[in-house]
Amino acid sequence: MQIIPAIDIIDGKCVRLTEGDYAQKKIYNEHPLEVAKQFEDAGLMRLHLVDLDGAKAGAVKNWKVLEIIAAKTSLIIDFGGGIKQEEDVRIVFNSGAALATVGSVAVKEEEKFVSWLQQFGADKFLLGADVKNEKIAVGGWLETTDIWIYDFIEKYITHGVQQIFCTDVSKDGRLEGPSTELYKNILQKFPQLHFIASGGVSNLQDLDALQHIGCSGAIVGKAIYEGRITLEALKRF
């Protein structure tokens, strides 16, 4: 199982939110590149980079941070937050991201997202599904839809999407453990999926549990920043 550390960006700084609430923001480092280099030095190979300003504005904002990290590390970066137009997709790839992370467009503008999959290649996208009670949530988690997570995943697998990560909104940033049962159900329905767990990871036992049920990857954020999981300890995955 691949460990994918997360860097969330507001105003070019590395922050974390609790339950997606911008009012519950904590700044961990003024220089995201320093954080990314620490991850790389620890032997991690991937990075989940989230532009929270972009997510709020509906257009990519912190592409400069992406450009710097991509230029100065060899991390395989997926970048999301504010990818709403084709121009945003181009900016993300031109700035050095290996994968564009798309969430709400896939929910609200299916035709547009499918056209991107055809144009850029389905293997260039990481599909993000935010979930509350097995239903898809969008818009920085502010609204819940009636779309069942399993239908959503099935639809995009048929369009060629290979990598999907799923965040249980109720767990994110709370350090209370991930939604292992939900992920287990998803993996039972879609055993071929490259599935990445996200949200709630608080210790190594959580990661062991996710590996045990067959997750291909796990996104870890706050647990690293709060010192619950050391970078050294992640080397065994």
- Return the residue matching tokens 């990661």: 207
Decide: 165 and 201 in contact? Cβ < 8 Å.
no
Return the closest-CA partner of residue 142 out of 58, 28, 201, 63: 58
Return the closest-CA partner of residue 153 out of 206, 199, 107: 107
| Bridge partners, residue 1, by sequence | none
Classify residue 50 by its DSSP letter.
Answer: E
- Catalytic annotation, residues: 8, 130
Inter-axis angle of helices 32-41 and 63-72, nearest 10: 30
Non-local CB neighbours of 191 within 8 Å, separated by 6+ positions: 214
Count of beta carbons in the 10 Å neighbourhood of residue 147: 17
